[in-house]
Structures are given as C-alpha cells and as structure tokens.
Structure 1
Amino acid sequence: MDPRSVAVSPDGTRAYVANQGSDSLSVLDLAAGAVTASVPMGDRPVGVAVSPDGRLVAVAELGDDQLRFLNAPDLSTLSVLAVADRPHGLAFTPDGSRLLVTHLLSGDVTVLTIRPFFLYLPVIVKSVSVPLGRGLARLTTHFTFHASRSVPTWPNVAPAPSVVINGSGTRAYLPQTMAHGQGLNTQFDNTVFPKVSVLNLETQNHQTSEHISLPETDQPVGLPWDVALTRQDTELWVVNAASNDLSVVDISDPTRPARVANIPVSDNPRGIALHPQGHTAYVNNTLAGTVSVIDTQAYTVTDVITVTEIPLPPVLLHGKRLFHSSARPDLAQARWISCNTCHIEGEHDGRTWLLQYMGEVPRGAQAVITRNTTSLLGMIETYPLRWSAEWDESADSEFSIRFEQFGTGLIDGQMHPTLGSPNQGRSRDLDSLAAFIDSLQVPGRDHELTEQEQRGRTLFESPRTGCLTCHPAPLYTDLKQHDVSTASAYGEWFGPLIDTPTLRFLYDSAPYLHDGSARTLRDVLVTDNPQDPHGMASVLTEQEIDDLVAYLLALPHSSEEGGFTYQASSCLGEPTRTPDRIELWVEGCDIVMAHYDAIYNCCAQMVVYLEQRNALIKLTEQEEYPDQTPCRCLCTYELGARIASLPQGTYRVQVWNGAAQELLAEETLVIENGCGPP
C-alpha cells in the first residue's frame, strides 16, 4: 500500500518496492509479473536501493530514522542502522563501497561506507581438519556498515527526496528545494529556490561551483523530486513534482549548465527511469495514474500509458492534485510554490518563516510575523487553525494561495476575511482542496511505553505539572487559546494568545513553539519557561524533566487504548436550584463518570485528574486558571471522564472536589470477566 520507490536488481530479474502505507517491501519476479514476497519493514519505508552486485538491499525507514539492510537471496535482515532524521533517497556508488542517504527535511547527505568481509571455515577432508591457513573455504559474505560522514549542502533545504550518482562514481546529483529561511518572504521568487546540488564524491564535499539553479537554467519550476543521467552523464533530467514538467539540462561543462528542453507531463511526476540504451525515458505521474513515454532524442512525449486507477473519491483526488500542484496561475505565480512545498506530504518542512501580516502595524514596523510550519495531519480534529487561531475553516487556505503562494486565487472576486463569512462553497476547486486537507489523518503508531515514559506519563497527568489543563488526551489540546508568554514580544501583531497545539508526533516535529524558537522540548519546559507559564516545570527534578520529555516524545502511543480521558464544558450559566448529579457506571471494560450541573468558579478552566492505586480509582475535579485569576461568581459545568480497558475486578471509585478536598461521590463497580486478567 502506498508504494514510494522501486529498485531493480542488476540482472533485471527482480524489483523491490518500498510500501510506505503497509510498512513492507514487495519483491517482484519481473519475468512472471508477480509478487513473490512481502517483507515486513519498520515505520514508513520510502527509499530502496540494490547494491551493484545484487547481494544487498537497502531500505530507508523514514518513520524510525533508520536504514535496514537485507540479504537479497533470502531477504533476511543483516543490519539495522540508526541515521539522522527522515532518511529518504538512497543510491549506491558504482563499486558498491558507499551508500548515499538523503534526508527529507535537510540538505545533509549521510555517506555510509560498506565493507564486505568473508567468513572462512577449515575444509574438512575425511574427518581430518586442515590446519587454519591452509585450504580454507569461503562460506558466505557479510557486511559491515560505517557511518563515514555527513556531507552538508545548502542550509534550510526541504524537501531533499532523492539522489543519483554518475557512472564513474565521482559526482552525486540531488534535487532540492532551499527555503529562504527567516528572510522577508514577501515575493514568490525569494521564498524557495528549486535547484540541483552536486556532491564531489572524490573529496566528499559539496561542489558549489556545479550547482544548478533550475529557474535560471531552465524556467520557473516547482519541487524538483527525482533526477536521471543520460548521454554518458552529460545530460541531466530533472522531474519537477509541483510544476508537472521535466527540466533537461546539459552538464557537459559542469560549471556552465545549459537548458536543453522543458517537457510538460501530467499530475505530480515523482520518478524517472531511462531505457538501458538511453533512447526512451519513462516518467511516473503519481496523481494521474499514468506513465509518460518520452523520446530522449526529440524531447517529446510519444505515449501516455494508464497504469492504475487511483483509489480516491473524485473530490479528494481533485483536491490532492491541487494541493501538490503549482502548475496553474490561480494556485501559484510562475509555477513556483505549492501547498506541498511547505507542508511536505501533508506534514511540515521543519522551517520557520517570516510571513505577511495583513492587519494594522505601527508606523515604520514591518508587517510580518514569525511562524513555525505545522503539520496538517488530523487538522480537522483541532480547529481553529494556525498558531493564532486566525482561520476557522480549511477553505481559508485561499489566504495562503493568494498571499503565500502568490496565485490569483481559486475564488472569483475577493475572498471573505478568514474569521468572517465562510469561504467554503464559493469555489469547487477550493472546496475540493479543503476536503483533501480535512481528510489527512494522524497515522497509527505501535509504541508501548517504556518504564521512563510511564514515569513521564504519571507526571503529565499530575496536578503538579498542570499539563492536562491545556493538553488533555486524546487530542492533547483543549482547542482554546492561551497566553503562555511565548508570543508577547514586539512584532507579534496577532497578540499574545496562541492556539493550543496538539502534542501528537512531537518526536517528529521539531522545532517547537509558534516561532520555532525552541529546538528541544527541554527548551520548551525550562529555557523558554522561566516563570512557569507553560507548565510547572520548576517543581520538577532534572530526572523528572527527562522523564516528562521522554513521555511527550512517545505520543501517540499504543497504551492510549487503555488510557484516561476527560471532557469539561465551559461555563454553562449561573447555578440554579437544580442539584448537581454524579453518575458512575461500567461500560464494557471501561469505567465512566458524568457530573451534571457541577458548580465551580466562573473563570476557571475545569480539569479532571486521575489517581489510581490498584483497585482505588480517584477522580479529582480541579479549577485551573491558565489565563486569569478566580472571579467573584459561580457557574455550572458538565464534566466527564473515562478510564478505558480496565482488567476484570472490583473497583472503588471516588470523585473529589480538588479545591475543597471534599469527597463528592463514591461507588463500588465491577468489571466482569472477558476484560483481561486482574
């Protein structure tokens, strides 16, 4: 499911396909046209390469930040090697001695040295052992893998999806998009720069004198994704995924690249393969379900082969094509920027941007704001949108199209203000794009908490830290805005309130905070939190901070299925004569609490904490004040809690008023057989 790359064995008999969606590697018999094996991989395998001798298969597991090496004959795992964040593109040098690894959100390239060695055993003749050193038999080949070095290219690169090496093994070519970083990103052509970087593999350095700026060499293009070499490595073919075209560049003089041709293809091209004799190129148009066949002499498309029907509803498929495209002037000026340029694969680019601010600013001030790119996965669950909650629907993406991609817009006429009347329903294209964005889901993650992470979870759910006040499970956000003293500096024109971000996938979303100023979670909790407005980290020991960080980096985790969640309304109104009511009951293997017409301070944010000691379950309702102090008034609230997937047994459940230390309700409940051992 969701195949991302393919590699063919040197003898042309096998193909290996990395399937990101099913965490597997498919092996195909090319003569029979059949899948002969499916091998489980780690999290999100995206890149695959075969060594020149065909004995070694390397797989980049993007989600686990590691490489897996397989023995090609029996597909057994030889080694798993941890590498830097998000490994993606792979290429062996022609002699097989090195493997180059690109990283999706970085311009750095990992160079691994691969050394084969042989296991020799004495030859046994008529039950007589030949002395060591005479008549040794080579039994099998093994490999050692050494992280030789990391070679940097340009800063602020994302994405960096692939790499190809020339036939002599002296140069590597990397399609990249380099961001302007924290420059003033107020025009399309000073925001990102599509290019091909070159590594000198003899010196293992970035060969800046040979880099290719695609807009200057060819024409404005978007998101170079794959490359291929032809004409004895003097011609480079670059696949541009957003602008739906190919840039063909003459590199016979590597310091003076020259345009040969620009070839339009179809939706979201991401891969290219050349015929062994070089007369034909084949381009995979991933969102068209087609392959473009190109005559490499005439530089023209001679055929388009339909290879698949994309299994998406028409509205979502249309929206996905728009999300990944910069090829239309209503989407982007000069075919330059797509939604996918910054929200790579629907996630983030690891960058912090200076973006245009459309409101009023003081005289002489720059109308820009600093913003860290966020992931769009699961965004429909965490409305409102953006760091300052300035969007209330995905159709407000029209703002980004007009002011960040510099397109003319998908709506005819003026768009509505982002917090005004809906933009949804004003354009079929915009509605399709919004539907696709809303369809992006947070992927499941099979991770059981370690002992340290369990300790961190206890701290996270404790009143000592106050984390649950704003980050309750399962979304780990209260869907509200708070002033946590991170956006109070000059230039934060939206004001100090920041929309509470979800904590899911923190392990894969650095840097942190709205402006990307925190490189680590320890910075969030300690360095950028001196007066504890962002959680009570000052009461924790160094070990407890480490434990809490470990738990945050584990979210989401498999243990959530047996976890604790609570719900709390905002103030529902003044108290009436109706008495409050607490109900406790068993629902399957869960214990559920509901508190109706609970009376607490009207300026409070209500939180329910859990303390469980064997068969005693203590639920504490607590007034918290993250944004203000208590008021001189009371309100009614509705509170609820669920302790899920409990083992069978008898439980004593208590509900407490935390401020008054008053027991409000107590009941004994029984979880029946079939819910796991006690």
Structure 2
Amino acid sequence: MTGALRADRPAAPVHASPQALCLSPDGALVAVVNATSDSVSFIDATTHAVLRQVPVGQRPNHARFSADGRQLYVSCAWDGTIDVVDVAAGKVSARWDAGGTPNGVALSPDGATLYVVDASEDRVRAIDVGCGRIQWETPVRNQPRYVTTTPDGARVLVSNNLGRTLTIVEAATGRVAEQRDLGRCSMLREVVTSSDGRWAFVANLVSHDEMPTLQIERGWIHSNGFTIMDLEQPGHRVTLLLDHLLQGAANPTGLVLSADNRWLYVSLAGIHEIAIVDVAKALELAATAQTADDVRRLQENVEIVEQLGIARRVSSGGLGPRSVALDEARGELWVAHYFSDAVAVLDANCGTVKESIPLHDPVEMSLWRQGELLSCDARMCYQNWFSCVSCHQEDGTVDGLNWDLANDGLGNPKSAKDLINGHDTAPAMWGAVRASLFDGIAGGQRFEGFVADQDRQDALETYFGSPEHVPNPYQRRQSPELIERGRLIFLAAGCDICHPAPRFTDQKLHDLGFKTVDDFRARFDTPSLRNVYRNGPWLHDGRAMTLEAIFTDHNPDDVHGRTRGLSSAELAALVAYLRTL
C-alpha cells in the first residue's frame, strides 16, 4: 500500500483520535498520543488544561516518559521510528529506527533501555536510550502489540496480538525464556505486572473458533476479559471474564494497575466502559483453578465475576476508550477516547466522570468516520458481545483464526479474510457466497444479531469502501534490487495469471488442490495479495504459517505457481516482493 489516501476517501475532517496516554514520573503532565493527527498533546495533570500539541511522525501509537520526565518516547507506526520529544522545548529532538511497524513501548526500571514491539516483523527490540542504538532484537509471535517489564527489570513481557501467547524474554540477553500459551485468548492488548513481579495481567478476548458460530449469547462466539499469569509458575494462566450474563464487555484494550496492586482498571473499548477489578478477589478466584478443566470452566463463565463482586463496570465518559493511566496522588483515572477526540478524567474510587477534556475544537463526524466508529462499536451486536474488530482488528485485517460460519454451510471452518481489500475485489468470502462488499456488510450486520440497518449500512460501506492506505514497511526496508528480482520470479512462476496487478486477484474461483475432508468445495476465491504481509496465516484454512510455507510445504505439484525448482535465494526474493504488495 502507499502512504497516500485513495481519491474517493474523504480527506477531511482531521480528528485527534487519542490512542494512548501516560503520566510523567513527577505526576505533573499527562501525554496523549493522537493517532490520526500525528501529534502528542500535553495536559497539566492538576488544572487539566491542554498546554501544547507537538507534531510527531505518522500514526503515533504509544508512548512512555523517560525516567527523568524530560523526554517522551513515541512509537510512530507508519514511519517505523521512535520519536524522542523534548518535553520542555515542545519538539522532536531525535528520531530512532525502530523497525517496520513499532507499536507498544516500555521503559526499563533503570531508565536506560526502551523496549519496542514491531507488529509487521514480529520482533521485540531493546534500544539504548543514550544513543538510540538497537542492543538486541528477538523474534516473538504473530503481530506483537504491547510490552512491559517486571519491576526488577529482569524480564520483558510481550503480548502477541494474533499469537495467542505471551512471550517472556530475558532483558539482559534478549533470549526467549518462555512462550506462554494462553489457550483461546485472542486479540491480546495491554499487559501489566504487579509491583512484586509475581503476577502479570493482559487484556484479551476469548474466541471460540472451535465451535460453529451459531450462538451469540453467553459469549459462545466471543467473550471478553483479562488473563492472570503467575510468573513464578511456567505455563500458568487463568482467564476471567468481565461480561455479564446478558451483556458482553466487548474489546478489552487498556490496563493499569494501582501501585498497591489493589485495583485493576480495564478499558472496554467496544461498549465504552471501564471495568474496575478487585485484584485480591480476582486472585482468590483464580487460585481455585487447579486443573485444565477448572481453567476452561472459568474462561467460559460469563457470570461469576459479576456474581462474586470482583468487578464493576462504569461509563468511560466518551466513545472508544483505549489507553488508561492512573494518577494515584489525585485519585484520578485518565482515559483516552479515540472517537470522542477527548480525554476523560474519572474518580478512581467511585468511577464517576469528573471531566472530559477536548483535544481540539469539535469536528463533526463524516460518514466515513461514523463507519469507523461502527466497526469498533459492540452496540451493533446483540447483547454487545463483540464488534467487527473482534475478528478483523481495528485496521480491518484478520484475527488469524479459522471460523465455521453458517453462511456457507457448517463443518468447513475457514480463516477470516481481511475487509480492507473487499471494496474492489468482489465476490467476498472464500466461497464467494457474498456477491459484493454491500452484501458482505449486510451479512455482517445480520451476523451480529440484527436486521441490517440502512444508516449503518451506508456508513460501513463508506468506511470499508474507501480503506485507509497504510505505508508498507517492507517497501521502506527492502532493497529495490531484491524487490525487482522477486517481481521477475513472480512473473516467471506464473503467479500473475491469477494475481494480476493492480488488484492482485482475478476475482475468480480456482481449484489448486487445497480441499480437505472438511471442505464442501474445492474451488476457492482468489485472495488479493495487497497487504499480504499482515494477513497471515495464509491459504483458506490458515495452514501456511509463513509466506515461505505456501511454496515449500503446500505446493508439491506446482499447481499454485511454478515454484518447486526455486533456490532458497530465489524463494527469499519472491517472498520479499510479496511482502511489498
């Protein structure tokens, strides 16, 4: 994809879209990362006045203050950099290379090292804050999103967004100490540790892709909560759900833990609420899970947390709460509201909204922006269990899971396809059961439990019909010579016959020998190769865990392109080219 917007996508208005926030070490300032205005706002934590707005790189995602509070380290996902903001001067003083798509950042307890996760290259990197040099980098799992450290600085914890795992890395060496399996947890978001370093908490969904998608109620497609991990017991994890019996807690996203480990605050982005969790009671319940069956029963129980008074949910004070920060000195919880272009301040004890702080003058939502909000809004779903982004992420891509949808018959699960390529590559779905994007969106509304609403249909079709063009990090990081070599191999192998530019699909169904005993059909829709680098795992059932595996493990008869005779160097060039599409 290119960095420019499609001509048919509205260019205005510009929203702030606060994505993340953090409190300075002295508690004087709150820094707010504004994702779509490419800026950071600084707010006086006492007066709640917006002091200044500082431009940074494209699509800032996350930030942390330096140990002395003089710098703010901002991950700029579309530029692949960490922008170092001089807080006093109000400007970017340095820019460090941080890989393909830097997301979450965390500072070591001694303030000497910044840890950054790279969602497109599946890496965590340690950067020396004294010089901006990368000390080490370590492969983790699929699309890491957030990172934190243990209080002693010995371990780095990475929440793997699509990997269903938490990676634990030794901070000194970058060696992976453990890949902790989190079972059916998906869409892993922020992760925090307790002050004694024993416990870790991560916000996540629980996705029941092992079952046909026939029942929304009681969380049997998606449920929502957080996972507790005892870091002293390898493999330990217990997931507790923040849902209620008749109302889901869609899309847990942000987390913050009080210094005394008494309260855990979780933003529920899909229902615009904050969950306030009694940690002692949560740990007591988690301790009752002594067997694998106990763990399973707890992660399927949508009632017990509410029944035992472990958590209560309050209004977040805006639309789309994402990151949260706790000002314990003032007893205030700060909440970044992506769709309100504002930051709310809540009483941390009782959860009442004290104030909403706008980050700029009010801007009316365009139809495109309304569609973006609806894609993230679980109020579209019966009993609020999930939203579009529960399966397609906030960027409209994939969740890496195979789902058994009823729209093409039961018993043949297939991977979720991305939505951002649906606007000009009809038909939709692997079996072409939706004739167009319009049909797919209407079907999606029905899937969420309601008859398709025309106003919502118009907004969603405008949004998904004019997708946002993200700069491709591989175009920036691969050598032009390697890309060209891969392009010529792509053509020589005949890949362009079914994947012709510019859509990189012929929009037809083909039988390439991928049918399994579970499939009702042998012919599948040709997917577009645009954005293929971020749409894995690949093939209709997600059998290819890497792009290389498509050709090395799943093309023995050269039916899917003539690739059997490629050398390792030629295969590497082909994959390098594919990643730039």
TM-score relative to the length of structure 2: 0.77
Is the contact made by 1:387 and 1:499 (CA closer than 8 Å) also made in structure 2?
yes
Matched with 1:513 is 539
Is the contact made by 1:60 and 1:89 (CA closer than 8 Å) also made in structure 2?
yes
| Larger-Rg structure | 1
CA offsets per residue over residues 621-666 of structure 1, 9 Å max, x none? xxxxxxxxxxxxxxxxxxxxxxxxxxxxxxxxxxxxxxxxxxxxxx
Give the whole-Å Cα distance in 1 for the aligned partners of 2:368 and 2:124.
33
CA offsets per residue over residues 377-401 of structure 1, 9 Å max, x none? 3432423322222334333244443
CA positional deviation for 1:486: 3.0
Pair 1:71-2:134 in alignment: no
CA positional deviation for 1:519: 4.0
Q: How does 1:319-334 map to 2 (within 5 A)?
A: 319-326=371-378, 328=379, 331-334=380-383
Letter in 2 for 1:238: V
* Number of corresponding residues: 494
Pair 1:196-2:247 in alignment: no
Once the two structures are overlaid, the 10-residue window that deviates more, 195-204 or 474-483, is: 474-483
* Distance change (3 Å), C-alpha of 1:488 and 1:46: closer
CA offsets per residue over residues 534-578 of structure 1, 9 Å max, x none? 3445xx33xx164564344324466x8xxxxxxxxxxxxxxxxxx
* Distance change (3 Å), C-alpha of 1:371 and 1:399: farther
CA positional deviation for 1:113: 1.4
Matched with 1:261 is 312
Is the contact made by 1:505 and 1:555 (CA closer than 8 Å) also made in structure 2?
no
Is the contact made by 2:225 and 2:249 (CA closer than 8 Å) also made in structure 1?
no
Matched with 1:145 is 174
Is the contact made by 2:164 and 2:186 (CA closer than 8 Å) also made in structure 1?
yes
**Percent sequence identity over aligned pairs:** 26
Matched with 2:429 is 386
Matched with 1:104 is 161
Once the two structures are overlaid, the 10-residue window that deviates more, 61-70 or 86-95, is: 61-70
Q: How does 1:555-594 map to 2 (within 5 A)?
A: 555-556=577-578
Pair 1:355-2:383 in alignment: no
**Residue 475 of structure 1 is aligned with which of 481, 493, 503?**
503
Give the whole-Å Cα distance in 2 for the aligned partners of 1:172 and 1:316.
38
For the aligned residue pairs, the C-alpha RMSD in angstroms reads 2.9
CA positional deviation for 1:203: 2.7
Structure 1 unaligned segments of length 5 or more: list them: 116-143, 359-365, 412-426, 561-678
- Three-state SS of the structure 1 residue aligned to 2:284 is coil
Matched with 1:271 is 323
Pair 1:242-2:267 in alignment: no
Q: How does 1:212-611 map to 2 (within 5 A)?
A: 212-216=240-244, 220-230=248-258, 232-253=260-281, 254-256=283-285, 258-265=309-316, 266-277=318-329, 279-308=331-360, 314-326=366-378, 328=379, 331-344=380-393, 345-357=395-407, 367=410, 369-406=412-449, 408-411=450-453, 427-440=454-467, 441=469, 443-444=471-472, 445-448=475-478, 457-462=487-492, 465-487=493-515, 492=520, 495-521=521-547, 524-525=550-551, 528-529=554-555, 532-536=558-562, 540-541=564-565, 544=566, 546=568, 549-556=571-578
Give the whole-Å Cα distance in 2 for the aligned partners of 1:17 and 1:221.
29
- Three-state SS of the structure 1 residue aligned to 2:137 is strand
Letter in 2 for 1:350: G
Is the contact made by 2:195 and 2:259 (CA closer than 8 Å) also made in structure 1?
no
Is the contact made by 2:263 and 2:276 (CA closer than 8 Å) also made in structure 1?
yes
- Three-state SS of the structure 2 residue aligned to 1:346 is coil
CA offsets per residue over residues 325-370 of structure 1, 9 Å max, x none? 10x2xx1011111111111121101111000126xxxxxxx64542
- Three-state SS of the structure 1 residue aligned to 2:368 is helix
CA offsets per residue over residues 597-626 of structure 1, 9 Å max, x none? xxxxxxxxxxxxxxxxxxxxxxxxxxxxxx
Give the whole-Å Cα distance in 2 for the aligned partners of 1:191 and 1:545.
43
Give the whole-Å Cα distance in 2 for the aligned partners of 1:401 and 1:100.
35
Is the contact made by 2:272 and 2:320 (CA closer than 8 Å) also made in structure 1?
yes
CA positional deviation for 1:314: 1.1
Letter in 2 for 1:245: E
- Three-state SS of the structure 1 residue aligned to 2:370 is helix
Give the whole-Å Cα distance in 2 for the aligned partners of 1:369 and 1:404.
17
- Three-state SS of the structure 2 residue aligned to 1:320 is helix
Matched with 1:180 is 208
* Distance change (3 Å), C-alpha of 1:213 and 1:550: same
Letter in 2 for 1:15: L
Matched with 2:63 is 6
CA offsets per residue over residues 431-453 of structure 1, 9 Å max, x none? 11111112223533325469887
CA positional deviation for 1:44: 1.3
CA positional deviation for 1:264: 1.7
Is the contact made by 2:498 and 2:504 (CA closer than 8 Å) also made in structure 1?
yes
* Distance change (3 Å), C-alpha of 1:518 and 1:62: closer
Give the whole-Å Cα distance in 2 for the aligned partners of 1:148 and 1:512.
28
TM-score relative to the length of structure 1: 0.67
Give the whole-Å Cα distance in 2 for the aligned partners of 1:405 and 1:526.
38
Give the whole-Å Cα distance in 1 for the aligned partners of 2:126 and 2:280.
35
CA positional deviation for 1:316: 1.4
CA offsets per residue over residues 276-297 of structure 1, 9 Å max, x none? 4261000101122111110012
Matched with 1:164 is 192
Is the contact made by 2:113 and 2:126 (CA closer than 8 Å) also made in structure 1?
yes
Is the contact made by 1:248 and 1:262 (CA closer than 8 Å) also made in structure 2?
yes
Matched with 1:87 is 144
CA positional deviation for 1:530: 5.8
Matched with 1:363 is none
Give the whole-Å Cα distance in 2 for the aligned partners of 1:301 and 1:205.
39
- Three-state SS of the structure 1 residue aligned to 2:540 is coil
Give the whole-Å Cα distance in 1 for the aligned partners of 2:177 and 2:518.
45
- Three-state SS of the structure 1 residue aligned to 2:458 is helix
Matched with 1:617 is none
Give the whole-Å Cα distance in 1 for the aligned partners of 2:431 and 2:353.
47
Letter in 1 for 2:278: D
Once the two structures are overlaid, the 10-residue window that deviates more, 427-436 or 31-40, is: 31-40
CA offsets per residue over residues 20-40 of structure 1, 9 Å max, x none? 123222223445554433334
Pair 1:17-2:74 in alignment: yes
Is the contact made by 2:62 and 2:104 (CA closer than 8 Å) also made in structure 1?
yes
Structure 2 unaligned segments of length 5 or more: list them: 1-57, 286-304
CA positional deviation for 1:404: 2.8
